Homo-oligomer: A and B are copies of this chain.
Amino acid sequence: MKEVNASIITIGDELLIGQTIDTNSAYIAQELNRIGIWVKKRIAIGDIRSEILDSLEDQSRTAQVIIITGGLGPTADDITKPTLCVYFDAQLVVNEEALQNVKTIFQKLNRPLIERNLKQAEVPDKCTVLPNRRGTAPGMWFEKDGVIYVSLPGVPNEMKGLMEDSVIPRLKETLELPAVVHRTLLTSGVGESTLADTIEAFETALPPHVKLAYLPAYGLVRLRLTGRGAPREKIEEEVSNLFEQLKPQVKEWMVADEDIPLQEAVSRLLRARGRTMATAESCTGGYIAELLTARAGASSIYNGSVVAYANAAKEELLGVRHETLESHGAVSEETVREMVAGARDRLHTDYALATSGIMGPDGGSDEKPVGTVWIAVGNARRTIALKHFFRFGRDRNIELTAHNALTMLYRFIREEEGE
């Protein structure tokens, strides 16, 4: 079976100027990967005709699939469609289905339909139109000299709809694809180097078609095994066996043997035991609440959070004693312990975690410098608290605090509930 390679070309000055972070490419890469298409290259270029043409030409030499996003909007800087006409020697024509879609959307939004919007329904006459159920710009599918080109809008939500509805199913139909099998586990509280040393023998002994990757992120490291080949069943079995060999070697630090976020590992643990939790956040400012509620189904394990930024809020909403705040300060073991008790009590949960710290860049003192963070977790039986000292920027300190708090809670629940 021949390997199918893909390139992703994102078009738009906003990517080159750095005003927009490219989340589309990651999504597209994941989806292609899942069906056995290997992304060899991702390219971001501006809204410049010659650059677009050159990139298409270049990539068509090595890729069998080229996904293009962006530059399909209704404004003057969007030039993808006329450029595709040049590349494919095509003419813009109105597509009836796309036109109807534009009209329906504007009717629903109750917005006036202007000339500019109608242009969204024009497509090169050499493409197959992929209907966009979330927006006005249709997707386009071209084939030329054995290469598939797909042009998609840059709006993430619309691009995702088109990938799901049309692009992935069509690619699976059109191409004969190898199997790609990933198995990922999540570790917390250990560095990349120590992990690498621990599993060195395992890594060295891997067969050439199975790769191991280290994916570090703010105190967490994911280990991912990837196997490629055919038939799928054989690869799946092989990667599965290797994964089972790997797990016990990193047991000490493993919090999940799946590719899930840390907060999801906590949620699942609670759900499996029929327990609930609450959070009392000072320095993380709602970030942990957001992590926990970003996925549907949170309400069965998570009752809520008190984001107690002001001291008065800690007293009134969490019942932290005035004397505690007076004598120990907001960033102290005593305060986070009382925050845990208050959150559990007021939000009626089995478990709670609390954070209080100085995230920077200002607000530090000699005694409590910027980066000082207290975290506590507890249930009705006991509460434990730990002091951290993070030496990074505000964003990263918040992220590290959240990950450390969730890891601490995860381990605490496992101890309390039995493994």
**CB of A134 closer than 8 Å to a CB of B:** yes
Q: A22-B22, A29-B16 are in contact. Are A309 and B304 (CB under 8 A)?
A: yes
Work out how many copies of this chain go into the complex. 2
Q: How far is the CA of A39 from the CA of B20 in the complex (A)?
A: 14
Chain B minimum-CB-distance residue to A214: B75
**CB of A86 closer than 8 Å to a CB of B:** no
**CB of A131 closer than 8 Å to a CB of B:** no
Q: Which residues of B contact A297 (CB under 8 A)?
A: 362
**CB of A305 closer than 8 Å to a CB of B:** yes
**CB of A366 closer than 8 Å to a CB of B:** no
Q: How far is the CA of A75 from the CA of B394 in the complex (A)?
A: 28
Binds B, one of A109-117, A144-152, A248-256: A109-117
Binds B, one of A40-48, A165-173, A380-388, A403-411: A40-48
Q: Which residues of B contact A279 (CB under 8 A)?
A: 307
Chain B minimum-CB-distance residue to A212: B77
Binds B, one of A90-98, A191-199, A267-275, A321-329: A191-199
Q: How far is the CA of A42 from the CA of B24 in the complex (A)?
A: 14
Q: A14-B215, A77-B214, A303-B309 are in contact. Are A114 and B197 (CB under 8 A)?
A: yes
Q: How far is the CA of A297 from the CA of B394 in the complex (A)?
A: 11
Chain B minimum-CB-distance residue to A402: B290
Q: A213-B14, A309-B304, A310-B303 are in contact. Are A285 and B296 (CB under 8 A)?
A: no
Binds B, one of A230-238, A239-247, A312-320: A312-320
Q: How far is the CA of A346 from the CA of B359 in the complex (A)?
A: 25
Chain B minimum-CB-distance residue to A46: B40
Q: How far is the CA of A155 from the CA of B155 in the complex (A)?
A: 27
- What is A's interface to B at a CB cutoff of 8 Å? 13-23, 25-31, 33, 38-46, 51, 73-77, 111-112, 114, 116-117, 134, 155, 157, 160, 182, 191-194, 196-197, 203, 211-217, 222, 224, 226, 279, 281, 285-290, 292-299, 302-310, 312-313, 316-317, 346-348, 359-363, 392-396, 398
Q: List 15 A-B contacts (CB under 8 A).
A: A16-B39, A18-B27, A19-B26, A73-B192, A74-B193, A76-B196, A114-B197, A116-B197, A285-B298, A286-B307, A293-B307, A294-B398, A305-B305, A306-B306, A306-B307
